[in-house]
Amino acid sequence: MNLFRSEQHARNWNEWNEELCWTLHPVVWWVETFGMSIFRNRARPDFMTWLAGEEGAEAMTQLRARVSG
């Protein structure tokens, strides 16, 4: 899970895998992804309870939907 200077840099990386090209996005897209509640809420003092509850499960579903190929 790496950051690259540009799409061309990513495609020129020796570990580039065309089958996973759907994971290639501008950094702003990944910023939005890592701004989802499942990441924001790690700073909550009750994060583990939240994660294991209904809200956490829903947040996980939303994350999976966003990062599915």
Residues in touch with other proteins (CB under 8 A): 1-7, 9-10, 12-13, 15-17, 20, 23-31, 33-35, 38-40, 42-43, 45-49, 51-52, 56-57, 60, 63-64, 67-68
> Tokens at residue 67, please?
């990062």
Cα Rg for the chain, rounded, in angstroms? 15
> Tokens at residue 8, please?
């061309």
Q: In whole angstroms, how close is the CB of 54 to other proteins at the nearest point?
A: 10
Q: In whole angstroms, how close is the CB of 22 to other proteins at the nearest point?
A: 10
Q: In whole angstroms, how close is the CB of 36 to other proteins at the nearest point?
A: 9
